[in-house]
Structure formats: C-alpha cells, structure tokens
C-alpha cells in the first residue's frame, strides 16, 4: 500500500485507528473454544465488527508464535480474511545481520504478504536495509516506545543534549524515505510529539499506548499530526477485549466506534 493510498483511507473513513489483533489464547471468550481454530474465529469476528471503523490491523506475532504451527495457521487465515483495503502490520520487532534480516523480510512481505513490519534499529543500517528493498512495503522502526522501560536507554541524552531516540530517528531518515519508513512513537510520551514532528515532519508515526496503557488521543493528535494526519494510532486490548462474553464482538465494535468518532472530530 502506498502512502497516498493510506492517506485516502484515513480521509474516507475519518479514522486513523489501527486495531491490534493481540489474540491472547488465555483471554479470548471461552465459548469460542468449540471452534477448530478459536484464535482465528476470535479475529474473524473482531474484523467483521471493526473493519468499517479502522484503517489498519496489527497482529502481534508473539501471540501466534506461542501456539506453534497452529498459531501460524491462525495468523495466515487471519491475514487472508482482512479486507484488502486495510493496511496490515506484522508487529514482529525483528532486526539482525543482513542475510537474516533479508529472510525475515521475505517471510513477512512475500510469504505472509504483510504491508509493514516493525523493526528494531539497534544493530544499525545493515540490519534494516534488507527490509527496505521491497516495493510497496514498509518498515516501522522503533523510535520512542510506550513501555515504562523506554526511559532506560531511549531518553538518554547524548553529548550534544540530543536524546538517543532522536539520534536513531534522524539517522534512519538517511536509510529510507517517508514513502517506505514509519516510526513507532508511544502515546505515553505526548510531550515529545511536537519535538518529533520538528525533525520528522513527513513520516507516518505508529502510535501505541492508547487505551489500556493510558495514552491521551487528543494530546498525541494535537502535537503529532502533520498536514496529512500522518499517524496510525493503535488500540489492542482496549478494543478487542472490551467484552469477554458472547457479545464480545459487539463490545469491540462499540469501543472502536468511540475511538473513531473522537478521531473524526480531531481530523476536522
């Protein structure tokens, strides 16, 4: 999916919501266990309930890998079920030396046909470059993450006073253009968004941390928007686990609708 196509989806739906398909087997409603593939059935109903309210889906690979071969099968079926108009993100946080990264990229972009994959930049340019060699595919580089431990290293000031996350994001802009490179910036750091937009004005931002992690949608939107919105705000638990009974999909729809309505107002 191109940057322009993603912009068009955001405008047409009045939404920049990404639904995280973190299908934790221990948390999916128990009545789904009667199905041959409860994880896929859970995802299928969530997608049916939210597809008109969001522009992207982001499966977290850990919840599928933990189930072994069966989990990979659930993931494959889920991807095939997601409507083509939606942007799909493999939340895999990969990153290794060149040949290994190339095979990771092949797995997510060719075998599974995701639009994007999250990548850890710690090993430098040669660990990221192989992911950038696939036309129409995206790298979403970890910049400033939403977890508490993000302050352990990412906020460390360099000799010039620049935090480490800023150094990473500035350097990465030399590797890929805004047409193929996004950055993760967590909603739990709303005070940093204005600064991020100063040195990364054109790149899309993937913003986790809304909902269960307590991020403020209005704050991150106020400071994180660029001229074309330029954001995908993710909600996982806050949407998919809004209910745990037989009406879980309806509850998920209500939660996603509430977020989408707030987004539509902010986009005006």
- How many helices (H) does the chain have, and how many strands (E)? 12, 8
Q: Which residues contact 236 (CB under 8 A, 6 or more apart)?
A: 19, 20, 21, 22, 58, 60, 208, 211, 212
Question: Quick one: which H or E segment has residue 141?
Answer: strand 138-144
Q: For tokens 């266990």, name the residue.
A: 33
Q: 91-106: string of b/e by CB count within 10 Å (b at 16+)?
A: bbbbbbeeeebbebbe
Q: Which residues contact 137 (CB under 8 A, 6 or more apart)?
A: 105, 109, 114, 115, 116, 117, 131, 180
User: Catalytic annotation on 58?
Assistant: no
Sign of CA dihedral 184, 240, 12, 214: negative
Cα maximum dimension of the chain = 59
Q: Which of 13, 34, 77, 93 is catalytic?
A: 93
Yes or no: say if 240 and 23 are a contact pair by the CB < 8 Å rule.
yes
Residues in the chain: 268
Q: Give the separation between CA 235 and CA 57, rounded to whole angstroms.
A: 10
- Residue in 249, 124, 110 with CA at minimum distance from that of residue 174: 124
Point out the residues that are catalytic: 93
């Amino acid at each position: 999916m191109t940057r322009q196509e993603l912009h068009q989806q955001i405008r047409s739906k009045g939404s920049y919501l990404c639904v995280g398909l973190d299908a934790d087997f221990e948390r999916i409603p128990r009545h789904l266990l009667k199905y041959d593939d409860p994880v896929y059935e859970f995802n299928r109903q969530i997608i049916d309930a939210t597809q008109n309210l969001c522009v992207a889906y982001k499966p977290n690979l850990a919840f599928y890998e933990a189930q072994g071969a069966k989990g990979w099968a659930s993931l494959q079926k889920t991807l095939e079920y997601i409507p083509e108009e939606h942007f799909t993100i493999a939340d895999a946080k990969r990153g290794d030396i060149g040949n290994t990264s190339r095979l990771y990229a092949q797995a997510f972009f060719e075998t599974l046909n995701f639009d994007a994959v999250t990548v850890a930049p710690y090993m430098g340019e040669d660990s990221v470059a192989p992911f950038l060699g696939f036309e129409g595919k995206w790298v979403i580089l970890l910049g400033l993450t939403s977890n508490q431990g993000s302050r352990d290293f990412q906020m460390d000031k360099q000799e010039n006073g620049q935090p480490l996350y800023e150094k990473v994001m500035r350097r990465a802009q030399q590797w890929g253009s805004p047409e193929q490179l996004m950055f993760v910036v967590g909603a739990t750091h709303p005070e940093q968004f204005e600064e991020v937009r100063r040195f990364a004005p054109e790149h899309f931002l993937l913003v986790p941390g809304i909902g269960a992690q307590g991020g403020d949608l209005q704050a991150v939107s106020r400071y994180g928007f660029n001229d074309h919105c330029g954001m995908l705000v993710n909600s996982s638990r806050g949407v998919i686990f809004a209910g745990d009974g037989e009406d879980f999909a309806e509850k998920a729809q209500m939660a996603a609708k509430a977020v989408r309505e707030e987004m539509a107002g902010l986009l005006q």
